[in-house]
């Protein structure tokens, strides 16, 4: 589970577990997959894991859902078990099930990149990725790019250059710019603009996003 | 506009009659017009601050107080709040633009296994309200726009709520509808309201006039007259006229409207994405008839509002009702589509403007007849710039709201002003062309505002303006370059419901508290800077607590009031706390209060009774654990001096005349905001105003299908907003303009910044580039090519 | 989004065995999830092919390219061989949507995406593409719609990759469990609305796209693609052009001109091609090709401006392909 102290709010999953009574969520169709008999006895751990199971190997198919399924997500270097319906997007799983609310859902259609996370180091829109498609991959969120208490150079540069106003696009912007510097440590301003071409900022903070990222590239270079 | 805020201010001012003292205050623009003036201020006021360069923290860059929280994703917005047992609510929205609701069947939704509560809306907030409610005898609110909320469900998961909402069966008796401004003005158009109706506006402004005639869907005119405009037009040597069209824009804040409401027997606690914790509290208390003391509103962070987020609105009321019903906390955040449809927009405009002038410049008449639609609300008035930017011998403005079956407008960043300035400032540009006069020179002759005069001088001396070819359409080739300028105006509104508490703790730590919300403009940072200036401690060491009605009341953040309303209260509290502190520790230091001063983070004895003592060590001498002072905003020192402020924006564009594509390459934005408290944050806001203005001018357009009354682009891709590849090089020049009005002498910036004038600046630049005037926004290739073709045909016919 | 069964498949045969009873294929899911979130599709089962590794990758041979349909647009546009020898393909894949979407979206999904007409994409409009009788665009808001060859539905071809692949004379390989494999040219792959308004392509519900095959261009071939939008940071094309020129010295031996945002399926403009064939590529011949590209166009009530745009898009892209003009600053970079 995610590390949270007891006074932190409960995730929907914990709520669902905690609550009882007639209105509880139906657990119908928990797992229809071959080789799985009871909820929680087996975890979807990625293609490699399930293809090793006998029956799945024979048919090459395993079915999940439509009800909640326990899966293991590898987020920010830690394994988390979440119980989700297959329709759950990665953004929803992060925010609701894992309480990692730094990732924002803005357009919910892949148009604004407010939900940007890294999937094996590649920036993607987590609102358009099924959480189950992240199984077996390394997910990095805004919560996971700093080194302990030390902010990522892009985060530090965003603060230094005031590259934010309301801050709602900021996690997505930071993720896009950090990914850019990861693959291109010496970008031009045009490179930065292209890297955040899908990131919408309604406050209009772009000029400082460009400046901050170029500055962060400088500090990365000197490091 | 925030007229009721003004009224509050005047009432409060009348009640206050404190003892006065005379002080010398800096007034004017350093380097241009700065001088000291003697001003009467209440005796309790702190010493006058010098201009920014002589201050240590205020007026200088301080890192955004919550920058690390925002950059790390730790900042918790309303949409991030998760409470134990929290339910997820989903609205059921009308699928037709105009209808009576015959029945609402919630039985299937109630049977959904995840559902905990269903709510049917009996009272809708937002649309204009009939003056005579008896004209409509209905069981449920009449649907006046597609997307109007009808009911809501609360369920254990978002998916269960979504599924259950679909199970609510609403039976409509559809009525004829109209969603087109021109069609709605026709005599036999379908009527949005069966009689006259008015919209109240919000704590952030918006809304329209009440005492106006209504004919069919036309709510107006609201007329303002100065002198005799017909005579003024006769007296003119030159008359310029034009017909200008602007579209409906939606606020499209990235965080949608929404709340988490937790109704407990003795306290309703609401986390709200709002620009006004106070407004949410007041309206919820009024709606549910509960005492203000039993409503708590929390806004730790909020993801953009731009004028649309005041009061609980329908989502807030519905979530509170569902929480009351279910006994559980309820989260109701709108989805993107709902955000476009139901929580406000900037009204459109259709303006016919005439300006008459003498051949050497002075304006003899401004005549503006404007129609616009605020959907099923009002607030499309756009004559502010015509009334307030220039001197004129006569003026006649007529504003008309035209009701259509679309979501009600709400205040949006400088309500009415981008529309009005788009027409006025292009007409002024055309006048300058006709008079064969430089556009800056024409303004020098017609605009007496002392600060804009300085701003025009800065523009005149800029390399960008100097590179302007005064001959329109002079550049060769299909891609033409041009430069244009335009001006903006906004008003000094003071919200007197602005208070702050400053606490000094025995360990030397400092706290400042106010219910004010930081909507991204950075009031937290500014509050920290003020305490830093007073106590000589770096701003990052100040604990700033805002966004909670448990703290002293804060202003609603609309109409650029926050900084200018709240900062004097913060400074007064800090000053008074420091005086109380010195009085408190004097005995322990063997001194007297009059002997002690707090300078540069040290307590010193004027008579050298002891070695200077750090603030922290001095605090240890406090006689009790905490010293606390709460101060409220006092009226402006000279409230009769009704002040405006604004700026001058210059845009350089490239127009690809073969495809009608406009690119804004560079912008010079020269603005004043009284004393800039934190220039870095102020520049961020001006960048944002310029960029929002460009987005409005070139791209954004709420599109309603005329045959069905439904919005076809309720998303963030077909609703087009400027992105990273549309951003020009923006050069912001902040002009310090001291006005001698308060202990901080701050003013606002959010409204005037760029957003008012950039449309006209781009339009004037397009004219300068091509010799063709584009009088309609958004200036898409379709619009620009049509204008170029029309001009070419005109030439051929001439 | 409706709830569904997710069938995780590790092989093509496994996936094919699942394609029945309304099950739909999901690769990255970008377009499918968009449609499901908009409520215009509610499939009971998603057949997840995302992890079938044999469907991913780019192979270059003497014959040309074979591209696995799960290869992302970013992988294609960033592929050195494609950048140097199939510029039109890297250009067209590199200008779809946003950088992050290109990181996720597959070439197969791009080719198979449904039209982006706002009436089609909204659950509030039951249009001809959804099996009803009516098209809302003709009498409604049609500023971004087709100007040619539209028949009963004037939506425009949504896939930029197809504009490049059509010029390259590419084909797709389709496979079903019962009927085995077949290969279909890009042109034949798309179904015009009048043939069957509820179909976008010839792919059958039980078929899977297993490869995209691109023949090697003739020696001396130059190609380019440019996309024009109202804005550049994520916009749909209002005009675009793919140009492939087989040059014989200064003379254009063969020209292929393709357009996306002009008609419901990607089209080749024979008229524009004729204006260049056998002639030197100059601004004059390029402009003649541009003008020819909209011959016979019948704009709708709000999109006559496209009659100006396409000729410019074509002439500037012809000159770009011929190396006589740089990338157009007015086009998406």
Model pLDDT, residue A55: 52
* Residue C43 within a domain: no
Confirm or reject contact between A12 and chain B (CB < 8 A). yes
Work out the average pLDDT over C192-200. 95
Contact B483, B652 (CB under 8 A): yes
| Pairwise CA distance, residues B622 & B497, whole Å | 31
Q: Which domain, by its residues, includes C306?
A: 221-321
Please report whether residue C8 resides in a domain.
Answer: no
In-domain check, residue B382: no
Question: Does B611 share its domain with B654?
Answer: no
pLDDT score for A8: 44
CA distance B688 to B669: 11
Query: B295 Cβ partners below 8 Å, 6+ apart?
Result: B267, B268, B270, B281, B284, B285, B549
- Alpha carbons B506 and B484: distance in angstroms, whole number: 58
CATH number of the domain within which C269 lies: 3.30.390.50
Give the list of residues 6+ apart from residue B512 with CB closer than 8 angstroms, or none: B500, B501, B502, B503, B527, B528, B530, B531, B542, B543, B544, B545, B570, B573, B574
Tens-digit pLDDT profile for residues B645-694:
999 999 999 999 999 999 999 999 999 999 999 999 999 999 999 999 99
Instruction: Answer whether A87 sits within 8 Å of C11, measured CB to CB.
Output: no
Pair B49, B119 in one domain? no
Greater model confidence, A21 or B193: B193
Beta strand B363-372 pairing with B395-402: parallel
Decide if pLDDT at A52 tops 80. no
Residue B516, phi then psi, degrees to nearest 5: -55, 150
Average pLDDT across chain A, whole number = 81
Averaged pLDDT of chain C: 97
Residue positions counted in chain B: 798
The answer to whether A68 and A85 have CB atoms below 8 angstroms apart is yes
* Cα–Cα dist B256/C211, whole Å: 42
Query: Which residue in B538, B601, B761, B583 sits closest to B671, CA to CA?
Result: B761
pLDDT at A19 > cutoff 60: no
Query: A79: how many CB neighbours lie within 10 A of its CB?
Result: 11
Q: Which of B571, B602, B632 is the last residue of a domain?
A: B632
The per-residue pLDDT for A36 is 33
* Strand bridging mode B258-264 / B330-333: antiparallel
Indicate the residue of A44, A65, A133 with minimum beta-carbon distance to C3.
A65
Sign of CA pseudo-dihedral B570, B571, B576, B577: positive
Q: Are residues B261 and B148 in the same domain?
A: yes
How many residues are present in chain C?
333
Mean confidence (pLDDT) of chain B: 95
- The ipTM, to two decimals, is 0.97
Q: Do C228 and C163 belong together in one domain?
A: no
Residue of A nearest to C12 (CA): A60
End position of a domain, from candidates B277, B309, B333: B333
Taking alpha carbons only, the member of B331, B404, B321, B345 closest to residue B146 is B404
Predicted pLDDT at A56: 59
Q: Give residue A219's pLDDT.
A: 56
pLDDT at position A222 is 38
Touching A: B residues 667-726, CB under 8 Å: 680-681, 683-685, 687-692, 695, 715-717, 721-725
**Binning pLDDT at 50, 70 and 90, where does residue B200 land?**
confident
> Whole-angstrom Cα distance, residue C310 to residue C257?
11
Let me know whether C317 and C205 are in one domain: no
Which pLDDT value is given to residue B546?
98
pLDDT greater than 70 at residue B14: no
Alpha-carbon gap, residue C128 to C59, rounded angstroms: 39
Residue of C nearest to B780 (CA): C230
Give per-residue pLDDT as tens, C137-191: 999 999 999 999 999 999 999 999 999 999 999 999 999 999 999 999 999 999 9
Q: Closest by alpha carbon to B709, among B126, B169, B184?
A: B184
User: Do the chains contact at B720 and C305, CB–CB below 8 Å?
Assistant: no
Distance CA B732, CA B669 (A): 5
Is residue B567 included in any domain, yes or no?
yes
Burial class of residue C78, CB neighbours in 10 A (0-12, 13-18, 19+): middle
Span of A199-208, B2-11, B703-712, C262-271 with lowest mean pLDDT = B2-11
pLDDT-derived band at A2, boundaries 50, 70, 90 = very low
C-alpha distance from A208 to closest chain B C-alpha (Å): 8
Q: What is the pLDDT of residue B753?
A: 85
Statement: residue A11 has pLDDT above 50: no
- Residue B34 backbone dihedrals phi, psi, to 5 degrees: -65, 135
Q: Considering only CB atoms, which chain B residues are within 8 Å of C232?
A: 723, 725-726
Chain A, 141 to 200: residues with Cβ < 8 Å from chain B are 141-143, 146, 151, 155-156, 158-160, 162, 164-171, 174, 192-194, 196-200
Residues B569 and B466 in one domain: no
Task: Identify the band that residue A31 occupies on the pLDDT scale cut at 50, 70 and 90.
Answer: very low
pLDDT of residue A5: 39
Do residue C231 and residue B785 have CB atoms under 8 angstroms apart? Answer: no
Residue B528: C-alpha distances to residues B522, B542, B683, C103, C141 (Å): 10, 6, 18, 42, 51
- Residues B128, B61, single domain; the answer is no
Residues C194 and C281 in one domain: no
* B66 inside domain: yes
Nearest CA in chain A to C15: A61
- Domain co-membership, C232 together with C204: no
Q: Is there a single domain that holds both residue B520 and residue B625?
A: yes
Last residue in a domain, options C187, C215, C243: C215
C-alpha to C-alpha distance for C130 and C122, rounded to whole angstroms: 11
pLDDT band at B423 (very low <50, low <70, confident <90, very high): very high
C75 neighbors C106 (Cβ within 8 angstroms):
no
Number of domains observed in the structure of chain B? 3
Residues B488, B621 share a domain: no
Neighbouring residues of B15: CB distance < 8 A, sequence distance ≥ 6: none
**Which of B77, B113, B687 shows the shortest C-beta gap to A205?**
B687
| Residues C234, B723: C-beta atoms closer than 8 Å | yes
Residues C69 and C180 in one domain: yes
Q: Where are the alpha helices (DSSP H) in B30-136?
A: 67-72, 107-111
- Is the confidence at residue B7, as pLDDT, over 90? no
Q: Could you tell me the CA-to-CA distances from C206 to A184, B563, C18, C36 in Å, in that order?
A: 42, 63, 8, 20
Arithmetic mean of pLDDT, C22-37 = 98
Cα dist from C100 to A171, A179, B774, C103, C122, whole Å: 15, 11, 35, 5, 24
Residues B160 and B135 in one domain: yes
Q: Tens digits of per-residue pLDDT, B498-526? A: 999 999 999 999 999 999 999 999 999 99
Q: Residues C69, C198: one domain? A: yes
Interchain CB distance below 8 Å, A106 and B716: yes
pLDDT tens digits, residue range A136-191?
A: 999 999 999 998 889 999 999 999 999 999 999 999 999 999 999 999 999 999 99
In a domain, B503, yes or no: yes
Q: Binning pLDDT at 50, 70 and 90, where does residue B62 land?
A: very high
**Which strands form B510-514's sheet, in the order they lie side by side?**
B542-546, B510-514, B499-505, B626-632
| pLDDT cut 90: percent of chain C above it | 99
Domain containing residue C206: CATH number? 3.30.465.10
Question: How many residue pairs from chains A and C have C-beta atoms closer than 8 A?
Answer: 120
Indicate whether B559 and B549 sit together in one domain.
yes
Would B124 be classed as within a structural domain? yes
Provide the number of structural domains found in chain C.
2
Q: Is the confidence at residue C64, as pLDDT, over 80? A: yes
Q: Specify the pairing of strand B129-130 against strand B602-605.
A: unpaired
Instruction: Count helices and strands (H / E) in chain B.
Output: 20, 30
Measured between CA atoms, the residue of chain C closest to residue A121 is C103
Tell me, yes or no, whether B667 and B742 share the same domain. yes
Task: Specify the 3-state DSSP secondary structure of B8.
Answer: helix
B249: CB partners within 8 A, 6+ apart? B345, B346, B412, B696, B700, B701, B702
Task: Using alpha carbons, list the distances in angstroms from residue B369 to B14, B349, B380, B565.
Answer: 36, 10, 12, 34
The domain spanning residue B87 has which CATH number?
3.90.1170.50
Q: Does residue C304 share a domain with residue C238?
A: yes
- Judged by CB atoms closer than 8 Å, whether chains meet at A102 and B74 is answered as yes
Separation CA C265–CA C268 (nearest Å): 10
Q: What's the rounded Cα separation, in Å, for the pair B397 and B112?
A: 56
Based on the fold, state whether residues B67 and B87 are members of the same structural domain: no
Co-location of C172 and C231 in the same domain = no
The lowest-confidence range among A47-56, A94-103, B519-528, C157-166 is A47-56
Residue B394 in domain: no
What is the per-residue pLDDT across C258-275, written as a single tens digit (0 to 9) for each? 999 999 999 999 999 999
Is the pLDDT assigned to residue B596 strictly greater than 60? yes
**For residues B73 and B70, what is the distance between their CA atoms, to the nearest angstrom?**
5
**Is the pLDDT confidence value at B310 over 50?**
yes
Domains and CATH numbers, chain A: 12-144 (3.10.20.30), 153-222 (1.10.150.120)
Decide if pLDDT at A32 tops 70: no
Is C109 inside a domain boundary?
Answer: yes
Chain C environment of A128 (Cβ under 8 Å): 28-30, 33-34, 101, 104
Distance CA B539, CA B533 (A): 8
**Helical spans, DSSP H, in B310-416:** 313-326, 336-342, 384-388
| CATH number of the structural domain spanning residue B622 | 3.30.365.10
pLDDT digits (tens, 9 = 90+) for B541-575: 999 999 999 999 999 999 999 999 999 999 999 99
Asked if pLDDT for residue A42 goes beyond 50, the answer is no
Place A126 in a pLDDT band, splitting at 50, 70 and 90.
very high
Kindly state whether residue C211 falls inside one of the protein's structural domains.
Answer: yes
Question: Which H or E run includes B11?
Answer: helix B3-15
Does C129 map to a domain?
no
C88 and C174 both lie in a single domain = yes
Cα C111 to the center of its chain, rounded Å: 5
Instruction: Determine, yes or no, domain membership for B610.
Output: yes
pLDDT digit string, tens, across residues C41-59: 999 999 999 999 999 999 9
pLDDT tens figures, B93-105: 999 999 999 999 9
* CA of A176 vs chain C CAs: smallest distance (Å): 9
Residue A29 has pLDDT above 70, yes or no: no
**Interface membership of A23 toward B (CB under 8 Å):** yes
- Summarised one tens digit per residue, pLDDT across range C95-148 is 999 999 999 999 999 999 999 999 999 999 999 999 998 999 999 999 999 999
Q: Verify that C96 and C182 share a domain, yes or no.
A: yes
- More confident call, A30 vs B302: B302
- pLDDT score, position A26: 32
pLDDT tens digits for range B762-789: 999 999 999 999 999 999 999 999 999 9
In a domain? residue C123: no
* Cβ-defined contact of B699 to C230 (cutoff 8 Å): yes
Cβ contact (<8 Å) for A107 and B717?
Answer: yes
Shared domain check, C188 and C66: yes
pLDDT of residue B798: 65
Q: Which residues constitute the domain of residue B43?
A: 3-20+28-72+494-632
CA–CA separation, B713 and B700 (whole Å): 10
The verdict on B14 and B82 lying in the same domain is no
- Residue C178, in any domain of the structure: yes
The pLDDT-based confidence of B610 (bands split at 50, 70, 90) is: very high
Is C272 within the bounds of a domain?
Answer: yes
Choose one of B284, B315, B333: the last residue of a domain: B333
pLDDT in tens, B351-373: 999 999 999 999 999 999 999 99
Instruction: Give the ranges where B207-294 is alpha helix by DSSP (H).
Output: 229-235, 277-288
């Amino acid at each position: 589970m995610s590390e949270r102290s007891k006074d932190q709010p409960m995730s929907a999953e914990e709520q669902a577990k905690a609550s009882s009574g007639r209105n509880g969520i139906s657990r119908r169709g928990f797992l229809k997959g071959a080789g799985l008999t009871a909820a929680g006895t087996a975890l979807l751990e990625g293609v490699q894991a399930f293809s090793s199971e006998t029956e799945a190997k024979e048919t090459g198919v395993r079915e999940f859902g439509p009800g909640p399924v326990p899966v293991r997500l590898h987020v920010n270097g830690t394994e988390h078990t979440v119980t989700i319906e297959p329709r759950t997007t990665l953004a929803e799983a992060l925010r609701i099930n894992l309480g990692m609310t730094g990732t924002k859902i803005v357009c919910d259609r892949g148009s604004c990149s407010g939900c940007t996370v890294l999937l094996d180091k590649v920036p993607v829109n987590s609102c358009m990725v099924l959480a189950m498609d992240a199984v077996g991959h390394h997910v990095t969120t805004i919560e996971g790019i700093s080194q302990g208490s030390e902010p990522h150079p892009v985060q530090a540069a965003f603060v230094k250059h005031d590259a934010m106003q309301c801050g709602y696009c900021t996690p997505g912007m930071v993720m896009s710019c950090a990914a850019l510097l990861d693959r291109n440590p010496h970008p031009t301003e045009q490179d930065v603009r292209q890297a955040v071409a899908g990131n919408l900022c309604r406050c209009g903070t772009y000029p400082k996003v460009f400046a901050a990222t170029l500055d962060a590239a400088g500090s990365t270079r000197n490091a | 506009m925030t007229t009721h805020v003004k009224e509050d201010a005047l009432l409060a001012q009348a009640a206050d009659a404190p003892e006065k003292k005379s002080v010398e205050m800096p007034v004017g623009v350093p380097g241009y017009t700065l001088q000291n003036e003697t001003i009467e201020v209440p005796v309790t006021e702190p010493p006058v601050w010098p201009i920014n360069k002589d201050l240590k923290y205020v007026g200088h860059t301080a890192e955004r107080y919550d920058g690390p929280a925002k950059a790390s994703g730790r900042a918790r917005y309303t949409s991030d709040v998760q409470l134990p047992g929290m339910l997820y609510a989903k609205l059921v929205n009308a699928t037709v633009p105009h209808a009576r609701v015959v029945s609402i069947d919630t039985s299937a939704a109630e049977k959904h296994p995840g559902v905990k509560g269903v709510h049917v809306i009996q009272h809708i907030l937002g649309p204009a309200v009939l003056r005579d409610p008896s004209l409509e005898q209905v069981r449920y609110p009449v649907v006046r726009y597609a997307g109007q909320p009808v009911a809501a469900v609360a369920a254990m998961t978002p998916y269960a709520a979504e599924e259950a909402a679909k199970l609510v069966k609403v039976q409509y008796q559809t009525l004829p509808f109209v969603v087109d401004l021109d069609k709605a003005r026709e005599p036999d158009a379908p009527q949005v309201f069966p009689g006259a109706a008015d919209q109240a506006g919000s704590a952030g402004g918006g809304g329209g006039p009440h005492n106006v005639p209504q004919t069919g869907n036309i709510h107006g005119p609201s007329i303002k007259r100065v002198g005799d405009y017909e005579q003024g037009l006769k007296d003119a040597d030159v008359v310029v006229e034009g017909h200008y069209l602007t579209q409906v824009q939606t606020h499209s804040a990235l965080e949608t409207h929404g709340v988490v409401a937790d109704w407990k027997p003795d306290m309703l606690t609401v986390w709200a994405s709002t620009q006004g914790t106070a407004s949410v509290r007041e309206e919820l208390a009024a709606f549910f008839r509960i005492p203000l003391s039993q409503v708590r509103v929390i806004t730790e962070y909020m993801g953009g509002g731009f004028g649309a987020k005041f009061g609980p609105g329908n989502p807030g009321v519905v979530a509170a009702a569902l929480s009351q019903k279910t006994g559980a906390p309820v989260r109701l955040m709108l989805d993107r589509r709902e955000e476009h449809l139901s929580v406000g927009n900037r009204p459109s405009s259709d303006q016919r403007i005439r300006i008459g002038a003498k051949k050497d410049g002075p304006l003899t008449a401004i005549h503006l007849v404007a129609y616009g639609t605020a959907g099923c609300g009002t607030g499309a008035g756009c004559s502010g710039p015509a009334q307030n930017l220039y001197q004129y011998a006569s003026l006649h403005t007529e504003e008309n709201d035209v009701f259509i079956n679309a979501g009600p407008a709400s205040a949006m960043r400088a309500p009415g002003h981008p529309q009005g300035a788009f027409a006025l400032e292009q007409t002024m540009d055309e006048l300058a062309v006709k008079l064969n006069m430089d556009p800056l020179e024409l303004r020098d002759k017609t605009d007496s505002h002392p600060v804009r005069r300085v701003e025009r001088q800065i523009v005149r001396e800029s390399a960008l303006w100097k590179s302007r070819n005064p001959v329109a359409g002079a550049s060769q080739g299909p891609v033409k370059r041009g430069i244009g300028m335009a001006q903006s105006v906004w008003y000094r509104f003071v919200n007197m419901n602005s208070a702050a508490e400053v606490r000094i703790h025995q360990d030397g730590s400092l706290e400042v508290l106010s219910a004010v919300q930081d909507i991204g403009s950075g009031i937290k940072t500014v509050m920290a800077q003020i305490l830093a200036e007073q106590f000589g401690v770096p701003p990052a060491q100040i604990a700033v607590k805002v966004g909670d009605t448990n703290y002293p009341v804060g202003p609603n953040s609309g109409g650029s009031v926050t900084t200018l309303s709240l900062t004097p209260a913060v400074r007064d509290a800090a000053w008074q706390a420091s005086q109380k502190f010195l009085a408190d520790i004097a005995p322990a230091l063997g001194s007297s209060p009059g002997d002690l001063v707090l300078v540069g983070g040290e307590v010193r004895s004027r008579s050298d009774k002891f070695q200077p003592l750090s603030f922290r060590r001095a605090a240890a001498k406090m006689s009790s654990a905490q010293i606390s002072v709460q101060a409220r905003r006092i009226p402006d020192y000279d409230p009769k001096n009704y002040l405006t402020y604004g700026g001058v924006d210059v845009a350089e564009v490239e127009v690809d005349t073969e495809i009608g594509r406009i690119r804004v390459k560079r912008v010079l934005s020269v603005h004043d905001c009284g004393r800039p408290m934190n220039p870095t944050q102020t520049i961020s806001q001006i960048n944002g105003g310029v960029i929002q203005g460009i987005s409005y001018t070139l791209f954004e357009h709420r599109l309603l299908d005329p045959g069905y009354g439904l919005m076809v682009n309720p998303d963030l891709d077909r609703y087009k907003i400027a992105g990273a590849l549309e951003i020009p090089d923006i050069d912001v020049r902040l002009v310090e303009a001291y006005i001698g009005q308060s202990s901080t002498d701050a003013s606002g910036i959010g409204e005037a910044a760029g957003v008012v004038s950039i449309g006209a600046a781009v339009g004037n630049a397009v004219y300068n580039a091509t010799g063709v005037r584009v009088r309609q926004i958004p200036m898409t290739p379709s619009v620009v090519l049509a204008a170029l073709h029309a001009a070419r045909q005109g030439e051929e016919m001439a | 989004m409706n709830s569904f069964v997710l069938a995780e498949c590790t092989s093509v045969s496994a996936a094919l065995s699942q394609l029945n009873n309304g099950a739909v294929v999901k690769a990255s899911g970008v377009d499918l999830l968009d449609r499901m979130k908009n409520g215009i599709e509610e499939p009971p089962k998603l057949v997840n092919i995302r992890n079938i590794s044999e469907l991913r990758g780019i192979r270059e041979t003497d014959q040309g390219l074979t591209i696995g349909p799960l290869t992302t647009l970013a992988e294609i546009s960033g592929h050195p061989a494609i950048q140097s020898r199939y510029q039109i393909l890297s250009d067209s894949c590199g200008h779809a949507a946003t950088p992050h979407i290109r990181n996720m979206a597959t070439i197969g999904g791009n080719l198979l995406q449904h039209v982006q007409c706002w009436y089609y994409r909204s659950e509030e409009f039951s249009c001809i593409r959804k099996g009803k009788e009516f098209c809302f665009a003709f009498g409604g808001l049609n500023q971004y719609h087709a100007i040619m060859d539209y028949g009963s539905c004037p939506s425009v071809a949504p896939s930029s990759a197809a504009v490049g692949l059509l010029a390259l004379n590419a084909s797709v390989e389709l496979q079903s469990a019962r009927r085995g494999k077949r290969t279909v040219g890009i042109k034949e792959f798309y179904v015009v609305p009048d043939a069957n308004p509820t179909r976008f392509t010839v792919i059958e519900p039980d078929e899977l796209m297993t490869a995209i095959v691109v023949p090697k261009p003739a020696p001396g071939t130059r190609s380019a693609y440019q996309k024009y939008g109202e804005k550049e940071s994520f916009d749909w094309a209002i005009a675009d052009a793919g140009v492939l020129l087989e040059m014989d010295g200064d003379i254009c031996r063969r020209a292929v001109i393709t357009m996306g945002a002009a008609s419901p399926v990607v089209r080749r403009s024979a008229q524009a091609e004729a204006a260049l064939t056998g002639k030197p590529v100059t601004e004059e011949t390029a402009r003649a090709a541009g003008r020819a590209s909209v011959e016979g166009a019948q704009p709708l009530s709000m999109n006559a401006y496209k009659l100006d745009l396409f000729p410019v898009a074509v002439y500037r892209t012809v000159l770009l392909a011929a190396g006589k003009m740089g990338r157009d600053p007015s086009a998406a970079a």
